[in-house]
Structure formats: C-alpha cells, structure tokens
A and B are shown apart, each in its own frame.
Chain A
Amino acid sequence: MIIGIDMGGTNIDGVLIRDGRLIKTVKNPVDRNDYFYSIWNCLAQLIEDVNKHDINRIQLSTTICTNAIVEDNVSRVGMILQPGPGLHWEFDRLGEEIAYISGSVDHRGKLVKAIVRNELAEIKRRFQAGPVESIAVVTKFSTRNPEPEQQVKQFLRSDYSNITLGHTMSGKLNFPRRVETAYLNAAVSQTFRTFADYIQQALLQEGITAPVYILKADGGTIDLVRAIDKPVETILSGPAASFMGMTALLEQAQTDQVLLDIGGTTTDIFVLVDGIPVFEPLGIMIDGRKTLVRAIFSQSIGLGGDSHVRFESGELKIGPKRLDRAVAFGGQHITPSDALVYLGKMPGDFPEKSKVALEVMAQNHGIDPVMLAERIIHQFCCTIDQTIQQILERFHQVPVYTIRELLQDRKIKPRSVGLIGGPAKALASDLEHILELPVTYPQHYQVANAIGAALAKPTMEINLMIDTERDVLLIPELDIHQTPGQYIDLSKAKWFALDRIKAAEKNMGLTDDQLEGEIVEANSFNMVQGYYRVDKNIRVKAQIRPGLLQRLVDDGQGVDS
C-alpha cells in the first residue's frame, strides 16, 4: 500500500493506493501556520481504517522548503567561496556572511594555488561572532577537484555540524549556480531537518515503519534521510507531482507528447520526447535564483479557468490575473469557465447569474453572446497553442555539441495532448480542434498531484569524470573521489557509472526488476601531450529517469473520499 500526499499552495491532497488501485482520497485546505499539522492530519485520515503494517511507502510532495525560500524564512548561512580567476559574479543575495578565500583549481582539477589556513581561522572567528547557523562552501571547479571544499569542511567541522559542500549538489559545471544551490541547501537545511524529525517521531508513535520519500522537481523521489542532507532537492516539486500524476493517469506512449495542467489561475505545459520528459537544461529557477536542481521542464502561463476576461480598448483579454472565482461558481468577474458554462460544456453552481453576466458583456460590446463565449474559448485555446509552439521552437535551439546530433536535427512533433484540471473535459474538443492533435483527459484528475507523488520512483543523475593523467575518478553527486584503477576506457567507465547508480537505487528500496539506470551521454577524449603521450578524459552522465512504481488500474469501482 502506498500513501501519496501533495501539499499545494491552497489544498493538501492525499491518496491511498493498493495494488495500483486508488482506494481513498482526501482533500483538505492547507494550514499555512502549521505545515506539519496539515500533512499529519491528511495522513491520519488516509490511514484511519488501514492496517499500519500494510503501508509500504509514504511519499510526500511538500512546499516546506519552497515556502521557506520564497518567504525568506531561512537560516543564517555562512558562505565560503573560492572564485579563483575568471568572471566577477556579484552574489548579493546569499545573506550577510559571505567570505572569499584565495587559492584556485583549474578546469582540469589541477591545484593552482592552495588554501591559506590563516584566512579560514579569521573567517571562523567572524562566523562565530555572527552567529551563523549553517555553512556552505563552494570552490570553482570543485566538481573537478573537491579537495579544497573538503579541506574547508575539515577545518570547520568541529564547530559546525551543518556544512553543505558545493560539489555534492550537482556534477554539472556552473560555479554561480553551484553557489546559489549550496546557499539554498544550507539555508533550508534546519527547516527541513525539523520537519523530518517531526515526521519520523510521529510515525514512530503511530507504529508506522514504512519508509518516507520526498518528491523532487525532476519527477522522482529521494528518501527522507538523504533529503536531510540535500533538502534543496525538494523545492518546487508541485509541477513534477502534477506531471507524474498525468503520466500515471494517461495512456503512456513512446511518442512526442504535450501535457497540460489547466488550473484556475495558470496552465502548466510539459513536453515529452519519445515518452521521456524534457528537463530544464541546467536546473530550476526559484525566487529569481538560478540553481543546479534538476527539474522537469514546465512552463506556466497565466491562463486558467478563473482567468479574468475583459475588453481593453475593444480587444478581448484573458488573464494573466485571476481576480476571483467564475461567476458560475459564485465570483464577480467573467472567466473562461463562464463561457464554458454558457455553451453548456460544463455545469455551474450559478448558471443563471453567469448567463446574465456574459450577456451583459456581449451587449456592451455589440456581440452575440454565443459568439462571445466561443471567442473566449477560441482565444484561450489559441494562446495555449502559441505557447506550445514557442516552447518547441526554443527546444529546437538547445545547443548540441556533436556532428551526429546536429545532423540528426531532432524536431519535436507532438502526436497527442494529455489534459488535466477543472475545465479539462469541457475544453478537450476545442483544444483538439485548434491544436489539431488528439486530446485525452483522465478521470480522478482532482487528486492527480497526490497520485503523482504516490507513484513516483526514485531518480538520480550522476556525472562521472575520469582523467587518467591525473589518475582520478570523480562522481561529485555520490562524493566519489578515487583512482580510476581498471576503469580507464569508455565501456568500463559506463559499467562503473551504471553499477554505482544501481547500487544507489537498491539503497532506495527498489527491487532488481525495477532498476532502470541508463547512460545519457558518454564521451572519451584522447588527451595528447607533446604528440606522443596519450591519456583519456572520460565523461559519462547516467541517470535514473522518472518513472512509476506501478501503473494505476482504473477498474471503475468507487473511491472513498
């Protein structure tokens, strides 16, 4: 039995799934003053009549860290940065305690200039006077050589228990993003730790031993214990929950596909290529900060069932703001939902009120009300269509670095569209017409996010680099830093990467038949010096891509809610 809980901005949804069947759903408002209570209350309702030993996993999509960041309710972080030579990035949003240290490492990971211990001692004094609550250390090219970061940690470890090292955040190269990511990780660390402690204690009291997993923005999960070290991974998991929910609810195809989550205020757009979600190239952006946190690509546009519909200088406008609910549901302003109700595509609570409001608007602008309603829906669908085209256009411009990829010139051509959200059913035929693609929508969309959270599998990405001249093998994400030994050609390196990723999967409670590590990129470069000495520089990117623990079976039986 799996429990899935999704905490959104307004509601917290929960589902109970047994053998792929949805057997219970819960929907409560979020108590913004007590997130833990919101979750616990939802969980308690879900397991009322359940034998606690039957629970296999508890999976949560939470906004704990996201809210802490957005509300700037975070720990005081002491940042230690070693920028070395290069660009002068201004880091002005990392709290007040930023210390720069000298020394540098080059692009190969070779030590150019060592750390100066006296500087560290001075910084420690400053931080202790501060006082700072947690530390983040980021050095340039630390994914090529983590030693300087480790040396700083070594120096501070007796005074601080909570130290984030940049290289463990991601194996990707991007110093400014690594700095932001490490900062955020350190900043939310205490918040998340407190939350995790509560959850663990509460489960213990209830006698529940099932492991807890937290949803990440990349559509996968991370177990609670690991998330304590890397809480930044749990930010902005909402769109991923919705994406995974759609994946569980819709027929899966190995083709190019667009998924739309049409809510009240916004529509989130996702793209799949050959059935695999497109990721953000480097990482997600939160609160104006660019990070290295892996995330499923999603674009949110200010267009939803409750978007404000009005005329501006004779021109029909929809959104991007939501003023309140649709007139048909007790609001004051006309929305696309009112147009759907008027056309009989959707039931409303106050259809008469809605009808009158729409007819008044039509009369004021000298249009037939049916035509106005149709125009609203048409414009709504066209805006979605245009946004999809813009997104695809942008994906086609994503840089490639090999001749093979450039010649391949893979164009994304969606074959179908999946749709969830309140107005999904009512909009399906219009969208089908305008997008010129088959549109499908599932049942149970009301708790799609919780279903997504419940069924998401663990994911991971690792970046392995082997440099035989320096005699190092590095996987920053797993903090592996060793000699390459026998792994000095591409096929052995790939084997090693897969082996490591599968070991990590097993640790996350997956069984052998669920292991799905795969190689994403693999290159081996001849390193030639002086025309005769040949070494190898090997780069392998491996991942566990997002997937479902099990398929959802729709057997037509009712669901408790």
Chain B
Amino acid sequence: MTAKNKLGLILFPAFDWAISPTHPEREERLLYTQDQIMEEGIEDIEGIDFYNPDIATVGDVDRVHFCHPDVESVVTKSHLIAAGGVMKAFDLVLSHQADKSFALVRPPGHHAQRVVYGDRGFCIINIEAVGLAYARKKYGDLRVAIIDTDCHHGDGTEDIFWNDPDTLVISFHQDGRTLYPGTGAMTDMGGPGAFGYNVNIPLPPGTGDEGFRHVLEHVVMPILEEYKPDLIINSAGQDNHYTDPLTNMNFSAQGYAALNHRLNPDIAVLEGGYSIQGALPYVNTGIILAMAGLDYSGVVEPDYSLGKWRQSQQVTRQVHAISQQVYEQWKNKQILARHRFGSDKVITRQRQVYYDTAGIMETQSQEFMVCHACTGFNLVRSRNDRGARMVGITIPRKACSDCRDEGYRLFEEVKITGSHTTMLQDVDRDIFLRK
C-alpha cells in the first residue's frame, strides 16, 4: 500500500508521564491508539514514515509565552517534547521531507495563553504556537490558518494570535455556555491589528457529522479560499466524538477523517480527546489515512450507528444559522472593526483567566496599540491570586521602528518590585528580555 501524500508521523505517547495516576492526561491515553496503528500495519505503508519528536528549548517557549516566574519553573520535559513534536512536524513539511505531517503527541497545548502561571485545561505551553514561531524564525514569513477542531474553545491559540493577521484562527467548539473554558463567542473576532482573523464557531451540544460538514463547507472552506494561507494546520482535538466523556457532541471517526480529507491540512496536531478506547484509536487512524490520501472508509467504531448519532433537526437549524452569521461577520470584518474600535489609539482587553488544573486565578489587562505602519506593539499586565505580578511587552513581526522603540522604552521604564517580572518579546528580531 502506498500513500498518495508522503506523511510524516510523530507518534509519541509518552508512556512514562501523567499529570496524576488517574488523570485523563495519563500514560494510558495513547496506548490503544498505538495498538490500533500498529495492528493496522500503518508502519508498513509506503510513504508513511515515523519520526521521533524534537525537544523544544526554553528559547522556543519564550518566543510565544510569558512564563512566570520562568519557563523552567512551569514547564516539564513532557511539554517541551510535545512542542518539539510539533516543531518536527513543521520541519518535515517545510524542508519537503514529507508532504504532510501529523504530531500525535501529548500533553496538548491549545488552552495555553500568552501568560503562563501553570496548567490550564491540561495545557501549559501552546504546542502549535511554539512550533509555528520556530518555523517562522527558521523558514521566514508564513501565512498560516489554524483550524481548531477540538470540542473545547481553543482559547490559548486565540489569545496568542489575537492581533496577528498572518495567523487566521478558526475554532469550532461546543458552545462556551455549556462547556469549559466558557469562551469562544462569535463576537470575539481579534485585536485591532487582526480583526476578523479570529473566527469562533460555537456549536450546540448534539452536533453530528452533518453539522460539522455544514460548517466546513459553508464557513471554513470559503474563508480559507479567500485567506489563501501558505499552510493549514489542524489543531486536531478529538473530543467532539460521540463517546467523549467530557463533552456532548455526536461526531464520528468517519466525520473526522472526512473533515481532514476536505480540509486537506499540511500539518495536524493532536489536542484534547479523552475517549481513549472508543474514539482515539479510530479517529487517529482515520486522520492518518485521510492525510495520506488513502481510503479511510473502513475505519468505523465498533459501536457506531448512524441512526443513534444523527443530529436533531433543531441542531441542524441552529448550525445553519450560526454558520451564516459567522460567515457574514467575516465578510464584514472591516466595517465591524470600525464600529468596534472607532478612532481609539489603544484598545484595552480586560480578562480573568482561570487555571483549572493548577487552581490559579489570573487577572489581566492587554493593551494593543493601534498603528497604521504595522500591527502595533502590545503589552499585557497581569497578576494572580498567589501574589505574582508581571508585565509582558510584545513587538510583532514586521514591527515599524516607532513601535519597536516604544516597546523597548516601556520595558526600560517598568519598575521592578517584589515578585514582579517584566518581559519583552521582540518577535521581529527573535530577542527575549527579562528583568
């Protein structure tokens, strides 16, 4: 059997790491997925090659996150390896060793935001964002679309690329009013430098294969056609599956495979998904085959029955309405941006962020400078309920000299007191400063 697309597979189940012995993010998570992949003989398919992950460095993480007090204190080796797996996935595709790549790694990353005090939603660092920042440094500018198909809103990815028009983030997820982390409203469309390039598609509980297909055909694909990304990344969480213990959706392995066939991503990255026996072995096999351009029609869960998991007519109506509204927003993003921001010079975004796994509450305020020469530098002031305080300044790619100078000036100006950390990310020049 020969793959139509040469696929690089980074399968790293980390059999010796768990958040805690009975936590969903435990050693067992990819055990049955690996069993399924091995038994299907995927190793023997011509054109599918297995690779070990690289290991991300502190510098790779600093490009994306403001870790408090520092990277070493909050990040474990397992996170650096998961991120390193995604870096490898980018390398394989961008150095043309493979047409496509799939990082089947754990733990996930899409809930990790710019500021990191600890673990939230089983994520500490955003593995796609770390991989992408590495790839942009190594291979130059890339226009990228990240399609987050995890059932939970990809709030970390949203936060990191909030003001980056070169990174289109589309997340479809179970409506935040019914599921962690609660965010992901349609009206959250990005910062002043990238308004409209953050696309949230909150879906009603009970959405099935038909609903996901509708969203893909009527929202995601049309937007991608207009955006014309250099790379498409599927942030491939697998918890929309009908057997997932934490969510309430009706998506199937066939649905996931068909989605990847149609979306045709260059890179896929495993995110959440904790139905480790009933879903992951089949969904992952389906994604691998779809990405490799092979027939996935035989990949069916033992207990699947279309009748049982078909979405209700009410869900269908809701999905259609949401899709239409999201697409109209995309079309009208410039008008909506003028309404939203007016002629303000600074756009402030105030938020509280809860770290459910670590039990930390953070209060933060982000300030985005509106600049007509570049996307504008921005800063985040943050404190948490354990007494930590920090300020982070980001100078974006292709920053104008005014924004760069102003960013560095601010960094010099901020006074250090107590457990107060000040950090500066000069993304443009790949410089990271901390004081």
Contact = CB atoms under 8 A, between A and B. Distances in A.
A112 B11 CA distance: 27
28 contacts: A86-B285, A86-B299, A87-B42, A87-B294, A88-B295, A90-B1, A107-B36, A107-B281, A112-B302, A113-B302, A140-B39, A174-B41, A175-B39, A177-B41, A397-B51, A397-B52, A399-B11, A400-B52, A402-B15, A403-B78, A406-B52, A406-B53, A406-B55, A525-B31, A526-B27, A528-B22, A531-B22, A537-B31
B77 A407 contact: yes
Interface of A is mostly: loop
B298 interface: yes
A149 B97 CA distance: 41
A223 interface: no
A404 B16 contact: yes
Interface of A: 85-90, 104, 106-108, 110, 112-113, 140-141, 144, 172-177, 282, 290, 397, 399-404, 406-407, 523, 525-528, 530-531, 534, 537
Contacts of B17: 403
A172 B27 CA distance: 20
A88 B14 CA distance: 29
Nearest to B54: A406
Interface in B270-295: 277, 281, 285, 289, 294-295
B22 A141 contact: no
Most buried by A among B31, B39, B289: B39
A44 B32 CA distance: 54
A175 B43 CA distance: 11
A400 B36 CA distance: 17
A528 B299 contact: no
A282 B43 contact: yes
B387 interface: no
A528 B41 CA distance: 27
A172 to B, nearest CB: 8
B330 interface: no
Interface residues of B, number: 46
A531 B26 CA distance: 12
Contacts of B41: 87, 89, 174-177
B342 interface: no
B61 to A, nearest CB: 17
Given A174-B41, A406-B12, A525-B28, A104 B35 contact: no
B44 interface: yes
A104 B53 CA distance: 34
B13 interface: yes
A407 B34 CA distance: 21
Contacts of A530: 245
Nearest to A281: B43
A290 B81 contact: no
B400 interface: no
Nearest to A282: B43
A174 B299 contact: no
B307 interface: no
Contacts of B31: 525, 537
B431 interface: no
Most buried by B among A86, A173, A527: A86
B298 A108 contact: no
Contacts of A172: 38
Most buried by B among A108, A140, A144, A399: A399
A526 B302 contact: no
Interface in B238-282: 245, 277, 281
Given A88-B298, A528-B24, A537-B28, 17 more contacts: A88-B297, A89-B41, A106-B302, A108-B32, A110-B302, A140-B39, A141-B39, A144-B35, A174-B43, A175-B41, A177-B41, A401-B14, A406-B53, A406-B55, A407-B77, A528-B28, A534-B21
Contact of A401 (B12, B28, B281, B302): B12
B300 interface: yes
Most buried by B among A87, A282, A407, A530: A87
Contacts of A403: 14, 16-17, 77-78, 81
B141 interface: no
B293 to A, nearest CB: 13
A398 to B, nearest CB: 8
B135 to A, nearest CB: 21
A108 to B, nearest CB: 7
Contact of A89 (B1, B36, B77, B299): B1
B77 A108 contact: no
A401 B21 CA distance: 18
B354 interface: no
A555 to B, nearest CB: 48
Given A403-B17, A528-B28, A107 B277 contact: yes
Given A108-B32, A403-B77, A87 B52 contact: no
Nearest to A144: B35
A527 B35 contact: no
Interface in B282-322: 285, 289, 294-295, 297-300, 302
Contacts of B344: none
A406 to B, nearest CB: 6
Contacts of A397: 51-52
Given A87-B289, A403-B81, A528 B26 contact: yes
A157 B11 CA distance: 42
B408 interface: no
Contacts of A401: 11-15, 34
A525 B30 CA distance: 11
Contacts of A174: 38-39, 41, 43-44
A290 B281 CA distance: 24
Contacts of A110: 302
Nearest to B49: A397
Interface string B379-403: 0000000000000000000000000
B432 interface: no
B78 A526 contact: no
Contact of B298 (A87, A282, A290, A404): A87
B298 A399 contact: no
A90 B295 CA distance: 12
Contacts of A85: 298-300, 302
Nearest to B18: A526
Given A174-B41, A406-B12, A399 B21 contact: no
Interface in B214-231: none
Contacts of A523: 15, 27
Contacts of B180: none
A282 B38 CA distance: 10
A284 to B, nearest CB: 13
